[in-house]
């Protein structure tokens, strides 16, 4: 049986960082999005026999599989929790909301997902949705990953609020995903603006097959998360220790500071 590990609900204004609490093996961070007219006492839920599993204090860190350029701070999150720690700039054209999650449990987590709702400043529901994958796909204790939530109808207004829940599961339920290294990245000129061009390396002892996804989280000089970009490696597969080139089109979106990750499959 899959063991869903603790998550954190995050209701925050656009462009803000956030984290929340509640934890425990088989215990979710909450019951999902809260109705606008609900009457909540604000009391903490009673603890269960499973509370505290995998919640030993860990140090925040960054996966060596992420390629980082520039300086930007990722919030630490909360000990013992998988949290949504950053919500970035919503993009109405694509219906995406960039997010960063951090695993502060003592256990590795895979099958990462964020889901929830968006509301306007008056509290009216605008839409709901879920994430489309994260980089890295596997989070060791203390590490963070980036991705985006797709919400059709989301607006870029500053008073937009999100109610997000993050979940993860044990790596033995990992379903064949395999993270690979990005060993070199350069900003190059392409037909439609700047590209992030580079080289991937398969650090595993198994072949990694495609599609091999390449993703970037773009930050501005103030450290705010402004967008996520995604594309694919030029090769359909990589042998153990093998490499592949890639070129990720930014379509004129700014990406001076970034984090990049890549993954394929090892079925």
User: Which segments of the chain have a pLDDT < 50?
Assistant: 1-30, 40-55
Separation of alpha carbons 245 and 226, rounded Å:
25
Question: CB burial class (10 A; 0-12, 13-18, 19+) of residue 133?
Answer: middle
DSSP 226-261: EEEEEEEBSSSEE-TT-EEEEEEE-TT---SEEEEE
- Say if CB 12 and CB 162 are below 8 A apart: yes
Q: Could you read off the pLDDT of 142-187 as tens digits, one per residue? A: 999 999 999 987 877 778 899 999 999 988 755 678 999 999 999 9
Separation of alpha carbons 223 and 172, rounded Å:
35
Q: Minimal CA–CA distance to 129: which of 121, 146, 117?
A: 117
Domains identified in the chain and CATH numbers = 4-31+54-173 (2.60.40), 177-265 (2.60.40.10)
pTM: 0.82
Per-residue confidence (pLDDT) for residue 121, from 0 to 100: 86
Per-residue confidence (pLDDT) for residue 148, from 0 to 100: 96
Dihedral angle over CA of 213, 214, 217, 221, nearest 10: -170
Per-residue confidence (pLDDT) for residue 102, from 0 to 100: 97
At 171, is the secondary structure helix, strand, or coil?
Answer: helix
Q: Minimal CA–CA distance to 211: which of 151, 267, 260?
A: 267
CA 130 to chain centre: 11
């Amino acid at each position: 049986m899959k063991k869903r590990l603790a998550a954190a609900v995050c209701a925050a204004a656009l462009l803000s960082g956030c984290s929340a609490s509640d934890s425990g093996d088989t215990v979710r961070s909450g019951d999902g999005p809260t109705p606008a007219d609900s009457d909540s006492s604000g009391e903490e839920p009673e603890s269960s026999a499973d509370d505290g599993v995998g919640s030993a204090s860990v140090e925040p860190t960054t996966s060596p599989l992420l390629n980082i350029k520039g300086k930007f701070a990722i919030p630490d999150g909360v000990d013992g929790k998988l949290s949504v720690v950053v919500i970035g700039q919503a993009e109405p054209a694509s219906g995406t909301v960039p997010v960063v999650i951090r695993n502060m449990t003592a256990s590795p987590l895979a099958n990462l997902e964020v889901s929830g709702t968006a509301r306007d400043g008056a509290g009216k529901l605008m839409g709901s949705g879920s994430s489309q994958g994260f980089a890295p796909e596997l989070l060791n204790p203390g590490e963070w990953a980036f991705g985006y939530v797709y919400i059709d109808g989301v607006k870029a207004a500053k008073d937009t609020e999100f109610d997000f829940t993050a979940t993860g599961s044990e790596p033995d339920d990992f379903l064949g995903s395999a993270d690979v290294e990005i060993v070199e990245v350069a900003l190059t000129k392409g037909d439609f603006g700047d590209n992030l061009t580079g080289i991937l390396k398969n650090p595993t002892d198994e072949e990694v097959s495609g599609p091999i996804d390449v993703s970037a989280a773009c930050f501005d000089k103030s450290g705010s998360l402004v967008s996520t970009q995604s594309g694919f490696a030029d090769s359909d597969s990589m042998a153990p220790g093998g490499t592949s080139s890639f070129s990720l089109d930014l379509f004129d979106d700014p990406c001076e500071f970034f984090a990049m990750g890549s993954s394929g499959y090892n079925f």
